[in-house]
Amino acid sequence: MTISYTHDDAVERFLPEASLLIGDERLLVGSAGSMAKINPTTGSELGTFLLAGAEEVDAAVAAAKGAFPAWRDTSPSERRRILNRIADLLEANAEQLTVVHALESGVPLSRAYGVAMPVDQFRYYAGWSDKIGGELAPIYPSAGFDYIKYEPYGVIGALLTWNGPLATAALKVAPALAAGNTVVMKPAELAPFAAIRFAEICLEAGLPPGVLNLVTGGPETGEAIVRHPDVAKITFTGGLLTARKILAAAAETITPVVMELGGKSANIVFADADPVSSAATAAMFLLGTGQGCMLPTRLLLQDSIYDRFIEELVTSVEELRIGDPLDQATEVGPVITAGARDRILGVVDRAKTENAGQLLTGGASLDSNGYYVTPTIFGDVDHTSSLAQDEVFGPVLSVIRFSEEDEAITKANSTSFGLAGYIHTRDVARAHRVADRLEAGFISVNGMNPMPATTPFGGIKNSGFGREGGRAGIEEFLHLKNVYVALD
């Protein structure tokens, strides 16, 4: 099936107006100016967005702080109603949101998550709005009454990633609002437009002014949010270098943070694995053109199946269609920027120079104005090499041999990351045994976890701390208050 509109048509029909949403105002000018967003498919300007300066950040935080008491005291049933209404409108605007995401991020429509995950998150956390209770604590040695309350923090600073702006917005905003917090949200400068439309939809659903505020901008805008004394907690999804800067800034005001960072996730395929499910998961290193923190970018294959598995994987990858993400037939789109393309190709060149592995396919750019890197597979990779240790964030797979279970676990745990891990085996005891020993916060056995809203997601080591999703996701936006009443 071919697309029903060109990029120009899609921009005209779907791209939202660049604006800042602060309280009950839509600002069309940012004090720090504006910036062009480049379309990764064409290399031309997609549109311009506003750069919020300290003035707008102050106004957004003030609006959130002012709206907090009323939102905190809003009845749980009313918060539930509004969050469900947001889910309804996300579904109603699914085409626009999906196309805008494809335009600005290059994610093919055929591989896009769409709005299913954000809708699921809002419906799930809408249900939590009236289930935040408390508990009693036993008291001794004297008589007393002691209860524990779960209370919202106040103003939450939500810093989104560019490779999944809708998903990360929902993972942060839905539980924060359900818990009674207010939010100042900043999308990544590489993907501002889907987040703008997301914020508009939240307001259209009846969210009171100031409860969710949106400021677009670059690193300076994010730093102003992190350093603001009235921001009670920060939630961030992104890279390790930015995370270190956020942690340093947050330390000055002792602001708590949630960090969902990168990964170098191992996919361990044992000789007894189901060939269909293991092959499907192996190819998932190409989701989002390899630009995903939880993707299985290290494939660990047991010796006895290595040659056959690699031969079939390379063949299937080479048959994938690379092209325009707005074409429903496209399976692999561009990477996000020209800089990302050049960096990824540099990783490939270094790996070849350092003999880190054997290049089996890919590792080239296309003759195109867009930022394309062909799907790349290295075989017989040295698990200690930078190719196997460092996050590439592109369509590059490192394939590593192993003989025994202990060897596979050792190699899988050898990186500084600990976000996800994948296991393929028909041996149930082995599956549980290996899952227990993998150093990661998110494990999938014989497939990829579909990530329903009920499950927590997050990592350890350099992959961050804190959790998004599930009960743990709303607990990140609640703090405990202990109340003791003497009875004698």
Catalytic residues: 172, 260, 293, 468
Cis peptide before 165 (omega within 30 of 0): no
Rounded CA-CA distance 130/184 in Å is 23
Give yes or no for a contact between 142 and 470, defined as CB atoms under 8 angstroms apart: no
Is 328 in contact with 285 (CB distance < 8 Å)? Answer: no
Neighbouring-strand partners of residue 397: 377
Backbone angles phi, psi at 291, to 5 degrees: -100, 70
Task: Enumerate residues 6+ apart whose C-beta is below 8 A from 207.
Answer: 82, 86, 177
DSSP H helices in 231-367: 240-253, 275-282, 303-318, 338-353
Element housing 301 (H / E) = strand 298-302
Q: Give the closest residue to 374 by CA, choosing from 439, 416, 311, 321.
A: 321
Both tokens of 82, joined, read 């509004």
CA distance 407 to 464: 26
Pairing assessment for the beta strands 298-302 and 396-402 based on DSSP bridges = parallel
Indicate the SS3 state at residue 32.
coil
Q: Helices 428-437 and 405-412, interaxial angle, to 10°?
A: 30
3-state secondary structure 143-183: CEEEEEEEEECCEEEEECCCCCHHHHHHHHHHHHHHCCCEE
Per the CB < 8 A criterion, the answer to whether 173 and 187 are in contact is no
Read off the tokens for 305: 């199946």
Count Cα atoms within 13 angstroms, Cβ side, for 193.
26
> What is the distance, to the nearest Å, from the Cα of residue 17 to the centroid of all Cα atoms in its chain?
24
Helix axis angle, 165-178 to 193-204, nearest 10°:
30
DSSP string computed for 325-352: TTSTT--B---S-HHHHHHHHHHHHHHH
Are the C-beta atoms of 219 and 186 separated by less than 8 Å? no
